[in-house]
Amino acid sequence: MCENCFLKGISGFATWQVYESVSKVIQAKRAAGQLVVTANPTLNSLVNNFMAVDAYYQCSSCQEIWGLSSPDNAWRGYFLPIKRAVIYMQRVKNLDRAKGIAGLMLVAVVLILTLWKMLK
């Protein structure tokens, strides 16, 4: 990260307007030659499959590669350096898994209590 690209990333666009304003800044930096569109970085294929990146940008000064994921319904998207995006996506995936397990546990408790009342 440097002054020519961005000093911080965004790990979730609060509104579509925020996404649009970030997209405009990205396009302005592309026009100025500070960012260039780059090919998919050489991450392992497992990471690439769940990254949900629409475009990759590389800073012409610091060579940092950024990933832009646009928001879609409940998905808030992000604009982060790739290393931070991988960590963010792993955190999101773990949180989704924990929510699923908690939901199954709740269903199991309700089912056990229902069966216990029926057998009583």
What residue ranges do the domains of the chain occupy?
Answer: 16-119
For the whole model, what pTM was predicted?
A: 0.71
103 CB-side CA count, 13 A: 6
Instruction: Give me the pLDDT at residue 107, please.
Output: 94
Average pLDDT, integer, range 29-58: 75
Q: Pairing between strand 35-38 and 78-81?
A: unpaired
pLDDT tens-digit profile of 19-34? 999 999 999 999 999 9
Instruction: Give me the pLDDT at residue 26, please.
Output: 92
